[in-house]
Structure 1
């Protein structure tokens, strides 16, 4: 079969990379097209995935429509040339539009309820829309709910083996408690008007006061006074750090979920919520979400509470429950893109 995957964000690389590799090994013709956003291209190169960049990133919302139009036109040209059977993407409107033009099936994966504009543009023409069972919305007869998370396409034990040498490179003592703190840029279309922590320096100070080491990963530059906390490792290695961390604290729903499915408890601080983080909190007790006006204070308080608790195997047990009840999402992508 001829299959196109499109990449608009670093998370899409992780979601599809194992499926892309397996489809190629099975003899399918796989074409990957991307937008140059954040570290998406770095990840494609790190995983040795052949790809073509169709457009750059929009550095401000006013340019987003122009970049999107350029991306869609170039994708349409490539699809007309290739004549694919299937086009696969995560929440990308261009895929649904282009697939109709060239007679291909469009498969849209999404887990983000707050991406309302993107969803309105993508859903009407999509052939099938795949969401986790916990997705908070009824999309209609095109929707296919599955028992999993995007993050289990690459962090399921069948796909991921933790490497302790990554943590050793950061010169972290095996007996030392450490926390990964994630700060986001808040410049995505669905992030407008939202936020997380009000004072990252206070977060670092109070986490450090528990005796834990704080490692920061951030989308944008951070204050000079926090620069020494920032970890400098290749982006494809961050999941090994999350696996060995004692706690994740941050503004990223994706990284909170990654931590949870790896067995690391997560504090998610954001004025927006997601169905998947809510489920990981309510059903599995692996994520603690703070989204109200007091989210900064309450998020810090919960982080301190967890760091001061004695070590047990409860997080590993909760992770085992997740893995017992959820699927390897890559298997779903493979099955649906070839049938």
Structure 2
């Protein structure tokens, strides 16, 4: 720890990591901590970092297959180790990223890993044994042993908690809509992440879109892949940071992206999630809060259309009351990040027993 505060390393491997850490980075810096942000190129992660004015160093490029991913990860690990050796930070932070846990094992610093994705098995296998603290939602399915700290919450509440997020209605101007329009956002993913191999999502997209539009719903599509020619004009062309505003004002979200499904549900927008991938947080949003409806396999387009119609005909006050309950029962994740970092770095790495007592106290908070 420096005389002016903590030395903190934050790593970014995915656009969702930018959202997760951006308010914490601001809080750390405002109280005098020295924050170093290192990124790996992935989708729009660097665009988001630029949009939010977060200074960072890009350590590795992107990848399009498993072979390239292995090469990129090797380079990234080397670059992280080199910088940690030079900086000697107090704490390393990441979401489901092995590199920081390996670096903390090699040098005298603590690693705090945040994860909510049970099916990221390769990353978890490489990271968990070396992490000092692993923070998971209470809904996380796996027992990770003494290192695990569970909290009532969702990663998305680090940036979508009402204290952190104010929706901007100007997003409706960008899509030529007003608040009276019935809007459905459809999200399609590329299925090229390491944990996506062999998985699948929505079938019969054209039939689904045509059915929704016949009932007076406007469909806006955000897609990582090429769309059929008949649907290309529904593709949303928004500044990267405005998609969250669009999710807030939408009446329905249908998608294959787990992260975006959780964002939508946390914002109070009813969500249909179609994917063979699941997680404890998704299950809780469905079974406990009733804001998400999931399908492990794509149902026939007509069945999906009927489900969407039922949701759209439900009074909006139902979804708002369910969201309010969610907010009352879960933490502001940015506050939790700050708390767990302060508690962790207060204990020397050479005293694992004391760190365990600190973890136990946080569990009882």
Instruction: State how far apart, in whole Å, the 2-side matches of 1:213 and 1:243 are.
Output: 15
Instruction: State how far apart, in whole Å, the 1-side matches of 2:213 and 2:235 are.
Output: 14
Tell me the alpha carbon deviations over residues 166-224 of structure 1, each in whole angstroms, 9 at most, x when there is no partner.
11222103221010100011000000000101232122112212210000011233222
Q: Give the structure-1-normalised TM-score.
A: 0.97
In structure 2, the residue matched to 1:28 is 33
What pairs up with 1:48-59 in 2 under 5 angstroms?
A: 48-59=53-64
In structure 1, the residue matched to 2:195 is 190
* Structure 2: tracts of 5 or more residues without a match: 1-5, 344-365
Tell me the alpha carbon deviations over residues 89-110 of structure 1, each in whole angstroms, 9 at most, x when there is no partner.
0000111001111211000000
- Give the C-alpha shift of residue 254 in structure 1: 1.0
Tell me the alpha carbon deviations over residues 39-63 of structure 1, each in whole angstroms, 9 at most, x when there is no partner.
0000000000000000011111121
Q: Which has the larger radius of gyration?
A: 2
Contact kept? 1:132, 1:148, Cα under 8 Å: yes
Are positions 1:92 and 2:120 aligned together? Answer: no
Are positions 1:3 and 2:1 aligned together? Answer: no
1:164 is paired with a residue whose SS is coil
What pairs up with 1:289-328 in 2 under 5 angstroms?
A: 289-292=294-297, 294=299, 298-307=303-312, 309-328=313-332
Aligned match of 2:206 in 201, 222, 225?
Answer: 201
In structure 1, the residue matched to 2:112 is 107
Instruction: State how far apart, in whole Å, the 1-side matches of 2:72 and 2:205 are.
Output: 32
Contact kept? 2:203, 2:298, Cα under 8 Å: no
Instruction: State how far apart, in whole Å, the 2-side matches of 1:296 and 1:49 are.
Output: 42
In structure 2, the residue matched to 1:17 is 22
- Greater displacement, 257-266 / 285-294: 285-294
Moved over 6 A (4+): none
What pairs up with 1:137-156 in 2 under 5 angstroms?
A: 137-156=142-161
Instruction: State how far apart, in whole Å, the 2-side matches of 1:228 and 1:150 are.
Output: 33
Instruction: State how far apart, in whole Å, the 1-side matches of 2:79 and 2:127 are.
Output: 17
Instruction: State how far apart, in whole Å, the 2-side matches of 1:251 and 1:197 are.
Output: 7
Residue correspondences, number: 338
Instruction: State how far apart, in whole Å, the 2-side matches of 1:199 and 1:292 are.
Output: 12
In structure 2, the residue matched to 1:233 is 238
Are positions 1:83 and 2:95 aligned together? Answer: no
Contact kept? 2:269, 2:291, Cα under 8 Å: yes
Q: Give the structure-2-normalised TM-score.
A: 0.90
2:129 is paired with a residue whose SS is coil
Instruction: State how far apart, in whole Å, the 2-side matches of 1:316 and 1:10 are.
Output: 27
Are positions 1:272 and 2:241 aligned together? Answer: no
